[in-house]
């Protein structure tokens, strides 16, 4: 069953002779529970696509359907709430709040939504990601790999249907990268979540269930592994 679908998605910056097509008619479909990799060189449009999939930016034309809902038909306020409840984000730069400890960073999105914290679920995530003894640490007391695990825990904690990861291993060494991807695969199966990951690494992409290849704002290939 398709949980994420785009139809003729376009994103154009500038106008006339200065026009740049960041996305040029992208149509893709990602199945529920799938671990999908979007692969492309720098400037290919893959990060723009991820932002569209997550409703962080609006398309010039075309549509994104999340669980059957056309997200660009929503108001900004409704889209913000929908995004917070349905989608988790893992960014390359971690985006942790420096003055909050690990636990506070993980539960921040839940508290912003005014929801109760599911302590059993949270404990499970924390143990799975090896963070049980780090909950009182500040981000600057952690390694890059540990900070990325906190970012993943924060993305999973709200129980989103979809996790979007933008170059989640971009700042990590090869061994830690493999560990982080392994953890994403484990958590996606454990918590029945769909994961869409942006990467420029063929080695990382081969660990996914499916691959979408992007070049010059267009889909140029892909496969299910």
Domains contained in the chain, number: 1
Residue labelled with tokens 């893992």: 90
Q: Does residue 25 lie within any of the structural domains?
A: yes
Q: Which two structure tokens, joined as six digits, stand for 133?
A: 């003894």
Q: Does residue 212 lie within any of the structural domains?
A: yes
Q: Does residue 129 lie within any of the structural domains?
A: no
50 and 61 Cβ atoms separated by less than 8 Å: no
Q: Which two structure tokens, joined as six digits, stand for 153?
A: 């825990």
125 vs 174: CA distance, rounded Å: 23
pTM: 0.87
Q: Does residue 176 lie within any of the structural domains?
A: yes
- Per-residue pLDDT of 182-210, as tens digits, reads 878 887 788 788 999 998 888 888 888 99
Nearest one of 74, 59, 75 to 8, comparing CA atoms = 59
Q: Does residue 218 lie within any of the structural domains?
A: yes
180 vs 146: CA distance, rounded Å: 9
- Per-residue pLDDT of 52-72, as tens digits, reads 999 999 999 999 999 999 999
Pairing between β-strand 87-90 and β-strand 162-166 as defined by DSSP bridges: parallel
213 and 44 Cβ atoms separated by less than 8 Å: no
* Per-residue model confidence (pLDDT) at position 224: 60
Task: Tell me the CATH number at 200.
Answer: 3.40.50.300
68 and 60 Cβ atoms separated by less than 8 Å: no
Q: Does residue 179 lie within any of the structural domains?
A: yes
Q: Does residue 125 lie within any of the structural domains?
A: no
* Per-residue model confidence (pLDDT) at position 72: 95
Low-confidence ranges of the chain (pLDDT < 50): none
Range of the domain at 33: 2-92+160-224
Q: Does residue 147 lie within any of the structural domains?
A: no
């Amino acid at each position: 069953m398709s949980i994420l679908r785009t139809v003729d998605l376009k994103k154009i910056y500038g106008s006339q002779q200065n026009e740049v097509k960041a996305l040029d008619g992208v149509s893709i479909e990602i199945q529920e529970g799938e671990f999908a990799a979007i692969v492309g060189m720098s400037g290919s449009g893959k990060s723009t696509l991820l932002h569209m999939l997550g409703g962080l930016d609006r398309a010039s034309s075309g549509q994104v359907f999340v669980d059957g809902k056309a997200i660009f038909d929503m108001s900004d306020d409704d889209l913000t709430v929908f995004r917070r409840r349905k989608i988790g984000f893992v960014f390359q730069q971690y985006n942790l709040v420096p003055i909050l400890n690990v636990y506070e960073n993980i539960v921040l999105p839940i508290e912003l939504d005014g929801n109760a914290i599911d302590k059993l679920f949270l404990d499970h995530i924390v143990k799975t990601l090896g963070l049980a003894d780090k909950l009182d640490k500040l981000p600057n007391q952690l390694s890059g790999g540990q900070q990325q695990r906190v970012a993943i825990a924060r993305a999973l904690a709200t129980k989103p249907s979809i996790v979007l990861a933008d170059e989640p291993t971009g700042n990590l060494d090869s061994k830690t990268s493999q560990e982080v991807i392994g953890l994403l695969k484990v958590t996606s199966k454990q918590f029945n979540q769909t994961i869409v990951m942006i990467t420029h690494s063929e080695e990382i992409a081969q660990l996914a269930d499916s691959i979408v290849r992007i070049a010059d704002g267009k889909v140029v290939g892909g496969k299910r592994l």
